[in-house]
Structure 1
Amino acid sequence: MALAPALAQQKISDDVVKIGVLTDMSGTYSDFTGAGAVIAAKMAVEDFAKTGKILGKPIEVVSADHQNKADIAAQRALSWYDRDGVDVIVELVSTHVALSVMNVAEQKNKIALVSGAASLPITNERCNANTVHWVYDSYGLASGTAKAVVESGKKNWYFIAADYAAGVAMTKDASQVVTSNGGKVVGVAKHPFPNPDFSSFLVSAQSSKADVIALANGGQDTMTAIKQAAEFGIAGSGQTLVPIVLFINDVHALGLKTAQGLTLTEGFYWNRDEKTRAWSRRFFERAKKMPSMAHAGVYSSVLNYLKAVEKSGTDDTATVMKTLKSTEINDGLFKGTIRADGKFAHDMLLLEVKKPSESKEPWDYYHVRKIIPAADASLPLSESKCKLVQR
C-alpha cells in the first residue's frame, strides 16, 4: 500500500494537471461566463486541495478569450492540448465554439467539459466520448419553460431566433414541445448575431397575433429584445414574452421592473438552499455578482474532474472519463449522473421572475415554481442519435 501514491504520481502527464478555461471574456456572453468562469474554476481547485496539488502534482488554471469565434477557439484548443499540456478545457459558451473544441478534444484524446453552450447536438448527433455537457441544453430548457407556458393555455407561438446553431436548436426543441402539447408555431424570424435592433422582428411578432413571442437567443441579444419589447408595450398587450434561455445576470442587468413575470428554466439558482447560498456568497466576494448557472457549472465540472483524477490515480483521458461516468455527482450545487451520451443529467428549475416588491435582498430574483426531474429534463436515450448509446 505504501507504493500506491508514488505509482499514482508517475501517471500524471507532464507532472502537472492543467485546466484551461476557454470563454467569452469581452463579448455578448461575458457577464454570465467570462472572468467569473475563471474565478469558479480557481475556487474548485482551492476547494479540492488547499495546497493546489493532486496526487503530489501541481494543479494549474489557464484562461483565454475565444471571442465567440469557432476558428479562434479551435486554434487555442490545439495550442493548449499540443504545446501547453492542458488536460481539460472547460466552459465553452456558444454552441459553435463548443462543437469546434469538442472535435479537437476528440482528435487529441483530451477532455472538454461544456457549461455555457445550449445545443442538444453536443450530446446527441455530435456527441463524442471526450465531452460532458454539464449544465443545461435546449431540450431541458424547452421541457421546462415551453411546456409550462403551453399548459397555461398560451398555444400559438412566434419565435425570434438567433441565426446560429443554438438558435436553431432552441427553436426546434421548443417547437416540438409546443406542438406535442397541442400548440402551434405560427412563425419564425431569424436575426443576425449579435443584433442591436429588434424592432422589425418585434413588429412582425406583434402582427402575427401569437399568444407567445419566444426568444431563442442569448446574452445581450436576449436582454436587448426584452428591453425593446417593453418599449413596444408587448407585456401589456396580451402577448407573452418567453426567453428560452435567460441567466440571472441578465435579470440583474434588466432590473425586476422590466423582467418581472418572465418564466424561465435554469439548472442552478444561488438562493435555492443553504449549500447554494454558502457557495454563491463566497463567489460573490470575488466576482462582485452572484453566479450564473454557467459559473456554477464550471465550478462543479472542475471539482468533479479533479475528484475523478484522484480516484483514478491518473489524468489519462479514457480512465478519467470512465470514472466520471460511473460516479454519482453530488457537490452541493448539482446532483446527478453522467449518461453514456455525455449528458450530465440533473434536475432543472422552472422559475418566475419576482416583482420588485417581492424581492427581499439584492439578487433575490426568482420564485422556484417547479423542480423538473432529471429524467424529464433530458432527452430519452431511446430517442438519442449519439453513437455512444447502445441500441
Structure 2
Amino acid sequence: MTTAFDRRSLIRGAALAPLVAALPAGAGRGARAQSGQTIRIGVMNDQSGLYRDITGPGSTVCVRQAVQEFAGQRGIAVEVMEADHQNKPDVGSTIVRQWIDRDGVDVIVDVPTSSVALAVAGICREKNKIFLCSGAATSDLTGAQCSPNTVHWTYDTWMLARSTGGAMVRAGGDTWFFITADYAFGHALERDTANFVRQAGGRVLGQVRTPFPGTTDFSSFLLQAQASRAKVIGLANAGGDTINCIKQAGEFGLTRRGVKLAGLLVFISDVHALGLQTAQGVVLTETFYWDLNDRTRAFTRRVLPNMPGGLRPGMAQAGCYSAVLHYLKTVADMGVAQAKADGAATVARMKAMPTDDDAFGPGSIRADGRKLHPAYLFEVKKPEESSGPWDYYKLLQTVPPEEAFRPLAEGGCALVRS
C-alpha cells in the first residue's frame, strides 16, 4: 500500500502561538474525515529553546517514522501534531487541554521538562488519554505520581543516578558538589544521585540551584563548587545548561586540576556541540546510541534524511519512535475505536504486550508504567580514538533491564500497592 503524506495547518492558540502541524497517514482524506477512526498524536516538546536539539523537531521526525512504518502498512489513519511548550507548565497544560478538548488528540508524546510532564500526566489521567513520556526524566512519574494513563519510556533520574553516579563513586569520586537546574527534573536528579553517593560511603559537600530556564553564565556556580574542594561536580541539568557548564569548567581549568565533571544527563547532540576535544573522558549513561548495533544503525539510516541539521537521533528522540510504534501495535491489536475510547485500558494492553523495535530491542512495560530495557555506561572518546563523524562513545558497561531501573516495590506507586 502506498501512503501519501501532506501537511495542513491547524489553528494556532492566540495566547500561546504554538507551532502546530498535522501529518496524516493512511487511507487519504476520506478516511481522515472520519474522526472517530483517526488516531491523533500530539508531540509536545521544546521546539526553540535549550532542549531543542535533544527533543524538538527530531522527536517529531521519529514519531512520523513510526507512523510510516506501521500505521501506513496497516491502513490506520493517523494525524501527528507538534507544539512548543516553551518549558513552561502553564503553556504545556493549555496546549494539551486544547488538543484533547478541541482537536480530539488521543495520545501525548515526548514532553521534556519534568515540571511540564508531571502536569501533562495529571491532565491525561483526568481526561483518560495516554501520555507516552520520552523526554522528561523525573522518576516520580513511576513513583508517587504514577498514573494508569502514563508510560515512562526512555530513561529516568533513578537510572541515571545509579549508573553514572555509581560509576563515579566507584572510581574514587567520593565527595560531590551539585549544580542543579531549579525545577522538578534537577531536584529529582540531585536527590537520586545524592542518595547513591551516600549509600556508597561518599559525601555531598554542597549544592547550588541555577535559575531555569535562561542561565548562560555558570561562572559563580562553578567557583562555589571549586571552593568546596569536592572531587566531583555533579551537573544535575541538561541540554544547553550542561553544554555551558562543561565549556566554562574547561575555561576555568577545573578538569586540569583533577576535578571530575559528572554529566548526569548528557545526550549525543551535547557531545557533538562540545566537540571531542572538550568532552573527551566524560562518563555518561544512555539507553540508545545510534552506533550500538546493527538494529540501531538501521533505525538511524531510516530517520537520518529527515533529522534537522543532520543530527543523529538521541535517546529521547528514539524513545518517541519506540513508544509510538508499540502504541500503534496495540491499536491494531485492540481496534481503533476501542483504543480511542479508553486510554487507561489501552495502556494496560500496552503493558501486557512485549515490546521490540530497532531502537531499543526487546523489552517490557511494568505495572507502574516504567518501560524496561538495558542502560549503557559510555565514555566519550578522545579525538584520536574516533574513526569518523559521530563516532563518539566507547561502551564501558551494559546494565540489564531488571537492574537498570528502580525496583518495582521501592517506587511508592499506588498502582503497585493495589
TM-score range for the pair, normalised by the shorter chain length: over 0.9
* Partner in structure 2 of residue 348 of structure 1: 375
1:46 aligns with 2:68: yes
Q: Secondary structure, in 3 states, of the residue corresponding to 1:26?
A: coil
1:365 aligns with 2:380: no
- Aligned to 2:208, which of 181, 189, 193? 189
Retained in 2: the 8 A contact 1:252–1:363? yes
* Partner in structure 1 of residue 153 of structure 2: 134
1:265 is displaced (CA, Å) by: 0.5
* Partner in structure 1 of residue 108 of structure 2: 89
- Aligned to 1:105, which of 118, 124, 129? 124
d(CA) in 2 for partners of 1:162, 1:180: 23
Moved more, 241-250 or 321-330: 321-330
- Aligned to 1:222, which of 238, 242, 248? 242
Retained in 2: the 8 A contact 1:46–1:52? no
The letter of the residue matching 1:259 is: A
Q: Secondary structure, in 3 states, of the residue corresponding to 2:146?
A: coil
1:381 is displaced (CA, Å) by: 1.5
Structure 1 residue ranges (4+ consecutive) displaced by more than 3 angstroms after TM superposition: 49-52
* Partner in structure 1 of residue 364 of structure 2: 337
Moved more, 95-104 or 277-286: 277-286
Q: Secondary structure, in 3 states, of the residue corresponding to 2:295?
A: helix
Unaligned stretches of 5+ in structure 2?
Answer: 1-30
* Partner in structure 2 of residue 27 of structure 1: 49
The letter of the residue matching 2:258 is: G
d(CA) in 1 for partners of 2:379, 2:352: 34
d(CA) in 2 for partners of 1:36, 1:389: 34
1:141 is displaced (CA, Å) by: 0.3
1:289 aligns with 2:342: no
1:250 aligns with 2:267: no
Unaligned stretches of 5+ in structure 1?
Answer: 1-8
CA deviations 1:348-383 (Å, max 9, x no partner) are: 110100001111111110011100122222111221
* Partner in structure 2 of residue 201 of structure 1: 221
* Partner in structure 1 of residue 22 of structure 2: none
1:390 is displaced (CA, Å) by: 2.8
d(CA) in 1 for partners of 2:198, 2:259: 18
Q: Secondary structure, in 3 states, of the residue corresponding to 1:388?
A: helix
1:324 aligns with 2:353: no
The letter of the residue matching 1:28 is: L
- Aligned to 2:40, which of 18, 21, 39? 18
CA deviations 1:50-83 (Å, max 9, x no partner) are: 35732xxx11111111111111111111111111
Retained in 1: the 8 A contact 2:71–2:78? no
The letter of the residue matching 1:88 is: V
Q: Secondary structure, in 3 states, of the residue corresponding to 1:330?
A: coil
d(CA) in 2 for partners of 1:246, 1:331: 23
d(CA) in 2 for partners of 1:52, 1:201: 53
The letter of the residue matching 2:397 is: K
d(CA) in 2 for partners of 1:103, 1:18: 19
Retained in 1: the 8 A contact 2:180–2:210? yes
Q: Secondary structure, in 3 states, of the residue corresponding to 1:49?
A: helix
d(CA) in 2 for partners of 1:30, 1:17: 26
